[in-house]
Amino acid sequence: MEYTLFIVLLPFLSFLFLGLVGKRLTPRAAGYTGTIVLAISACLSYIAAWNYFTTAKVNGVFEKLTPVNFTWLNFTEKLHIDLGVLLDPIAVMMLVVITTVSLMVHLYSIGYMHGERGFQRYYAFLSLFTFSMLGLVVATNIFQMYIFWELVGVSSYLLIGFYYTKPEAVAASKKAFIVTRFADLGFLVGILLLSFYTGTFDFERLTSGDASLFAGMEGISFMGCSVISWAMALIFMGGAGKSAMFPLHVWLPDAMEGPTPVSALIHAATMVVAGVYLVARLFPVYYLEAPDVLVLVAIVGAVTSLFAAVVACVQTDIKRVLAFSTISQIGFMMVGLGVSGMEGHEGLGYMASMFHLFTHAMFKALLFLGAGAIIHAVHSNEMANMGGLRKYLPVTHLTFLVACLAIAGIPPFSGFFSKDEILAATFHFSPALGTMMSFTAGLTAFYMFRLYYRIFWNKASHHDHAPREASASMTTPLIFLAAVTLVAGFIPFGKFVTSDSAEYIIHLDWTVAAASVAIAVIAIGIATLFYRGESTIPDRLAASFRGLYAAACKRFYLDELYLFITKKIIFNGISRPVAWFDRHVVDGTMNGFATLSQRISYSIRGFQSGQLQQYVAVILLGALLITVLVLFT
Amino acid sequence: MNFLSLFVLVPVLMMGGLFLSKNLKQIRLVVATGASLLLALAVGLVFAYLGERAAGNAAEMLFTAKCLWYAPLNIYYSVGVDGISVAMLLLSAIIVFTGVLASWKMEFLEKEFFLWFCLLSTGVFGFFISLDLFTMFMYYEIALIPMYLLIGVWGSGRKEYSAMKLTLMLMAGSALLLLGILGIYFLSGESSMNILEIARGHIPGQAQHWLFPLVFVGFGVLGALFPFHTWSPDGHASAPTAVSMLHAGVLMKLGGYGCFRVAIFLMPEAANDLAWIFIILTGISVVYGAYSAIVQTDLKYINAYSSVSHCGLVLFAILMLNQTAMNGAILQMLSHGLMTALFFALIGMIYGRTHTRDIREMGGLMKVMPFLGVCYVIAGLASLGLPGLSGFVAEMTIFVGSFIHEDVFHRVFTIIACTSIVITAVYILRVVGKILHGKIADHHLSLQDANWYERASTIVLILAIAGIGLAPLWLSDMISDSLLPIIQNAKL
């Protein structure tokens, strides 16, 4: 299956081509080039997925294949960075997800970005991102993953800052890069620790379940935790940064300053699930060697999920609502992994998490692209400028509704199946955690329908000209993704992706399912009551919970904390004193030496006066002194 | 006549040609031809070297030649190269070539400028091909002295002050160095100035312990070792573009290369015993330089402090005394040389247009000079270690190499050094955000983008940076093989 290399390479070639000669092309040509190349890449991944899932099964278990692998850089005999393609069920699934969503976004952008300055640059960056993301998921070793991890970070930076004349966009891109870079520091140190003791970067060896590999780490602990736990926790920190887990999530809502299709691709469907993918990729290591970290993953996921859902209930910018909703849903995936075991029914959480990753990518991309169509029509991100749009934007309205129902967990839409299995796995792990996640699921349904009603129902706000439905290049992706969302729930996911690569038949846990559907329906009912028409209940509620409401509006002051750390502590508290110290103390000392030698030479230059009498006197005095010394010693 | 001696001969001939040339056109012809010739020679040398190695020539140094120069002290003119010097020669040739292009339009005294520039190049090339301690030291001095005039005459700002400071501090370093070299000569018992011969013998442990600090600090001053780095911000800020490029790009590498070739190679025991002191100092350099860079407002100061941080990493890695880390150190020298040269070239070009280097007075320049802007972003990304560009390869080799050290102390310091990747991102993105993005000032709207010689200069540098970043294996293997004798010597 060597051709899988081209799935990754084609977008890179497209990036080089558009980056170098894009300016000579018309915007239209550049857009079509990018889209066609990606379409080829997508077709190749569908073929690869078909081939893989039909042929790679040996003894009922999907094998890991490595069709391409070569050494890129040697460190020592044992440690070397390889670049290559690793195919296993999750990698193949990710290839399909990434190329599909990316293709939809490429197509959509032809309409959405029409007439924008830097259209060619935009497509070059999109290709770069797609290349990096694909390289990340097929990584054969953890260092290759780190390489592409950094590359997706930089493409995200470039795309968030696409409107580089806008100060908010510049600040947001900077924030995104620095926060994730900070998390990557943890990732890097984790890799260093892990490779120091195991002597390998290779995923296949690390996840083979061979305990002797980790023998060197036994018995070494630091601050009460074993070294392997530290290493895996640090690696998870990298994942938490990219996947916007609390408290490293601060960059994601701001990242909405980028063009909306970019938010759909990078900040909803693909890059932000890289952290989930990382944990899934190293799942056997987490499960077998560092189960305590896995609990940490579950807790971080649950806290993030609840926190983000609460904040999403009060945001008024539609993209911000979706951003917090993304954070919350990724929290669900993390919880799924955190509560999972290995093999058979114990591995339900793992399977569910990957399933949710798949369905979420589709319906969240749909929501963002829908939001883009709305913003395109009314030229605003604020809910206050919307309302009553269902008459003007029929296609957008229907597809958006499908996505809302999916995320709320209403059968038979895809989100119901995947989320329900996560809930079932969580209840199996801990009823308390399960209850908390069910509550979060209810909140999800509530804020999504708040969003839906305030955009499409309610009183229409005044528009200068009637909003119009977008062009075909924008509505086609919407319809396609809505169709996927309708049917994806019926994919027998357990046949393909499981914790041990063996087949697992999904059984719906009807008590959990019925309860969660009931919660979702109630939440939707409340949202209908509050937001479908004019109602004063939300305002009164906000007034009676004033403290909570204000804190949620301010996103619980975490952005202020971020500003405090960067501006006050790093900039004013460390860097300024360091710079002052350098100029005044270190350099001052050096200048001091110069001044000192100047002073000394001024004071002794009197000896070189040129007066004969003085010289003779000194000579005589010296001669006398030597004579005395010779005579009396 | 030895092939390597051409590297010294060409700049000397260029000086002769400059002396004879009558107008700007002839001056340009001479320097452009000379610089291209040097670049061709360096590329040729890489192929010749790799060819020899592939043919199975396992000698420690290739293309050696020697001729007696001063018998009483056994001083020879002795040359030879291994993979490391080949890499450094290639770096120097690239920087000289692009430096000439970047100073295509000089304001005044072109002939004199290029005369000193060529003398400086002679010193640099001579240093890297020498195997004789004294000859090496002589070339080192030849490279330093023109610096004083180049900054003092053609510089900007407080140029006399900076030039004086730089020269005095570096001269103080040379004084230590001369002492160290004489000590090595008299105490090694070999009565030889030849590095390879001294290495075959053994300098007594007692002597190593006081010679090592002398040599390491002597070269370290030029390698921006904390706290002897303060010449660097002022020096860089005042120097004209091409000189900044050559200085940060190559001259600072003389320090690292010297530390490595003389201090570590000849005195491995002392290096082993005393490394911890210098690891602390260089560890400070790495983090301290990066933090200082965050608050600077002058573009050149930002890069000067960034250089302190990156060059600190070079010395840091050398002191780890293992093959991987040292390999990383050499790669970092190359990578830092190329990207700092690119930075200084771009800063010179931006300054030539806006007449300010204060980042608070600029903004949105991407709009009027997209080419320079994109190049600046690429340089910045290389500096913060983006995979696919040279910085990543070098830094990761250093981090992995330093972390496999068996001592916990070294590993803790490695983690501290790793934190610099975050701080670097902060100051790089701050500058990019301030000067390239955002709103543009009205009086900057009429500025022009790069012209042909500026484009040529930056493109060559970017190609080199991306080349190392995309396909590092051949380079890293070439360096790695040449490190073996040094590693074996260090494990006496």
**pLDDT at residue A223, rounded to an integer:** 75
What does the alpha-carbon distance between residue A489 and residue A237 come to, in Å, rounded to a whole number? Answer: 31
**pLDDT at residue A313, rounded to an integer:** 87
Residue B425 to residue A178, Cβ atoms within 8 A:
yes
Average pLDDT estimate for A436-445: 91
Quote the distance between the C-alpha of residue A312 and its chain's center. Answer: 18
> What are the chain B neighbours of A131 within 8 Å (beta carbons)?
none
Residue A582 to residue B288, Cβ atoms within 8 A:
yes
Residue B397 to residue A192, Cβ atoms within 8 A:
no
**pLDDT at residue A569, rounded to an integer:** 83
> What are the chain A neighbours of B168 within 8 Å (beta carbons)?
594
Per-residue pLDDT band for A471 (boundaries 50, 70, 90) equals confident
Q: Residue A582 is nearest to which of B292, B404, B411, comparing CB atoms?
A: B292
Average pLDDT estimate for A71-95: 90
Is B301 in the A-facing interface, judged by CB distances under 8 Å?
no
Is A161 in the B-facing interface, judged by CB distances under 8 Å?
yes
Residue A12: pLDDT above 90?
A: yes
Measured CA angle at B118 (ends B178, B74), to 5 deg: 35
Measured CA angle at B167 (ends B165, B171), to 5 deg: 120
Q: What is the mean pLDDT of chain B?
A: 88
Residue A167 to residue B439, Cβ atoms within 8 A:
yes
Q: Residue A178 is nearest to which of B429, B436, B476, comparing CB atoms?
A: B429
Compute the Cα dihedral for A145, A151, A153, A156 and give only its sign: negative
Q: Residue B393 is nearest to which of A73, A164, A589, comparing CB atoms?
A: A73
Best CA proximity match to A178, nearest among A160, A203, A192: A160
Per-residue pLDDT band for A464 (boundaries 50, 70, 90) equals low
Mutate to test the interface with B, among A151, A192, A248 (most CBs of B within 10 A): A192
> How distant is the Cα of B223 from the closest Cα of chain A, in angstroms?
16
> What are the chain A neighbours of B430 within 8 Å (beta carbons)?
174
DSSP secondary structure letters along B225-248: -TTS-THHHHHHHHS-HHHHHHII
Residue B473 to residue A73, Cβ atoms within 8 A:
yes
Residue A170 to residue B425, Cβ atoms within 8 A:
no
Residues near B127 by Cβ (< 8 Å), separated by ≥ 6?
A: B136, B139, B140, B143, B254, B257, B258
Selected residues 57-76 of chain A with any CB under 8 Å from a CB in chain B:
71-76
pLDDT tens readout for residues B30-83:
889 999 999 999 999 999 999 988 888 888 888 888 888 888 888 888 888 888
> How distant is the Cα of A147 from the closest Cα of chain B, in angstroms?
6
Q: Residue B288 is nearest to which of A148, A185, A578, comparing CB atoms?
A: A578
Per-residue pLDDT band for A302 (boundaries 50, 70, 90) equals very high
Tell me phi and psi for residue B230, to 5 degrees: -70, -10
Buried b (16+ CB within 10 A) or exposed e, B463-487: ebbbebbeebeebbbbbbbbbeebe
Residue B296 to residue A579, Cβ atoms within 8 A:
yes
Residue B294 to residue A178, Cβ atoms within 8 A:
no
Q: Which residue of A has its CA nearest to B366?
A: A164
Secondary structure (3-state) at A269: helix
Is A601 in the B-facing interface, judged by CB distances under 8 Å?
no
Token look-up 């053994």 returns: B202
**pLDDT at residue B361, rounded to an integer:** 86
> How distant is the Cα of A148 from the closest Cα of chain B, in angstroms?
8
Most confident by average pLDDT, A468-482, B431-445, B464-478: B464-478
Q: Which residue of A has its CA nearest to B284?
A: A578
Q: Residue A575 is nearest to which of B291, B364, B388, comparing CB atoms?
A: B291
Selected residues 217-276 of chain B with any CB under 8 Å from a CB in chain A:
226-227, 229-231
Residue A174 to residue B433, Cβ atoms within 8 A:
yes
**pLDDT at residue A552, rounded to an integer:** 76
Contact A67, A85 (CB under 8 A): yes
Residue B227 to residue A151, Cβ atoms within 8 A:
no
- Report chain A's terminal Cα–Cα distance, integer Å: 97
Enumerate the domain spans of chain B: 3-490
Of the two residues B72 and A358, the one the predictor is more confident about is A358
Residue A575 to residue B397, Cβ atoms within 8 A:
no
Per-residue pLDDT band for B491 (boundaries 50, 70, 90) equals low
Question: Position A92: which residue type?
Answer: V
> How distant is the Cα of A487 from the closest Cα of chain B, in angstroms?
39
What is the ipTM score, two decimals?
0.92
What is residue B103's DSSP assignment?
A: T
Q: Which two tokens stand for residue B231?
A: 């010449």
Question: Position B342: which residue type?
Answer: L
Per-residue pLDDT band for A463 (boundaries 50, 70, 90) equals low
Residue A82 belongs to what H/E stretch?
strand A80-87
Residue A165 to residue B437, Cβ atoms within 8 A:
yes
Mutate to test the interface with A, among B236, B294, B366 (most CBs of A within 10 A): B294
What is residue B433's DSSP assignment?
A: I
pLDDT tens readout for residues B86-114:
999 999 999 999 988 888 887 778 888 88
**pLDDT at residue B439, rounded to an integer:** 84
Is B385 in the A-facing interface, judged by CB distances under 8 Å?
yes
pLDDT tens readout for residues B232-263:
888 888 888 888 888 888 888 999 999 988 88
**pLDDT at residue B75, rounded to an integer:** 87
Selected residues 90-109 of chain B with any CB under 8 Å from a CB in chain A:
none
Least confident of A114-118, B80-84, B410-414: A114-118
Is A164 in the B-facing interface, judged by CB distances under 8 Å?
yes
Is B312 in the A-facing interface, judged by CB distances under 8 Å?
no
Torsional class of B240: left (φ above 0), alpha (ψ -120 to 50), beta (otherwise): beta
pLDDT tens readout for residues B289-319:
999 998 888 898 999 999 999 999 999 999 9
Least confident of A621-630, B17-26, B137-146: B17-26
Buried b (16+ CB within 10 A) or exposed e, A173-206: bbbbbbbbbbbbbbbbbbbbbbbbbbbbbbbeeb
Q: Which residue of A has its CA nearest to B363?
A: A165
pTM over 0.90? The answer is: yes
**pLDDT at residue A301, rounded to an integer:** 93
Contact A132, A102 (CB under 8 A): no
DSSP secondary structure letters along A313-338: TT--BHHHHHHHHHHHHHHHHHHHHH
Contact A552, A310 (CB under 8 A): yes
> How distant is the Cα of B406 from the closest Cα of chain A, in angstroms?
10
What does the alpha-carbon distance between residue B426 and residue A165 come to, in Å, rounded to a whole number? Answer: 20
Least confident of A315-329, B148-162, B387-401: B148-162
Q: Residue B295 is nearest to which of A75, A195, A576, comparing CB atoms?
A: A576
Per-residue pLDDT band for B327 (boundaries 50, 70, 90) equals very high
Selected residues 408-437 of chain B with any CB under 8 Å from a CB in chain A:
411, 414-415, 418-419, 421-422, 425-426, 429-430, 433, 436-437
Of the two residues A219 and A24, the one the predictor is more confident about is A24
Q: Residue A170 is nearest to which of B292, B392, B438, comparing CB atoms?
A: B438
Secondary structure (3-state) at A139: coil
Q: Residue A71 is nearest to which of B229, B436, B473, comparing CB atoms?
A: B473
**pLDDT at residue A278, rounded to an integer:** 94
Mutate to test the interface with A, among B396, B415, B463 (most CBs of A within 10 A): B396
Tell me phi and psi for residue A65, to 5 degrees: -110, 145
Q: Is B197 exposed, middle or buried (0-12, 13-18, 19+ CB in 10 A)?
A: middle
Q: Which residue of A has its CA nearest to B415?
A: A189
Average pLDDT estimate for B462-481: 91
Secondary structure (3-state) at A383: helix
**pLDDT at residue A528, rounded to an integer:** 85
Residue B492: pLDDT above 60?
A: no
Per-residue pLDDT band for A24 (boundaries 50, 70, 90) equals confident
Residue A126: pLDDT above 80?
A: yes
Is B165 in the A-facing interface, judged by CB distances under 8 Å?
yes
**pLDDT at residue A114, rounded to an integer:** 86
> What are the chain A neighbours of B226 within 8 Å (beta carbons)?
586
What does the alpha-carbon distance between residue A132 and residue B8 come to, in Å, rounded to a whole number? Answer: 45
Could you tell me how many residues make up chain B? 492
Q: What is the mean pLDDT of chain A?
A: 88
Quote the distance between the C-alpha of residue B267 and its chain's center. Answer: 23
Q: Which residue of A has its CA nearest to B419?
A: A185
Residue A285: pLDDT above 70?
A: yes
Buried b (16+ CB within 10 A) or exposed e, A34-60: bbebbebbbebbeebbebbbeebeeee
Residue B433 to residue A170, Cβ atoms within 8 A:
yes
> What are the chain B neighbours of A188 within 8 Å (beta carbons)?
399, 418, 421
Average pLDDT estimate for A191-207: 89
Of the two residues B117 and A221, the one the predictor is more confident about is B117
> What are the chain B neighbours of A74 within 8 Å (beta carbons)?
473, 476-477, 480
Selected residues 193-232 of chain A with any CB under 8 Å from a CB in chain B:
195-196
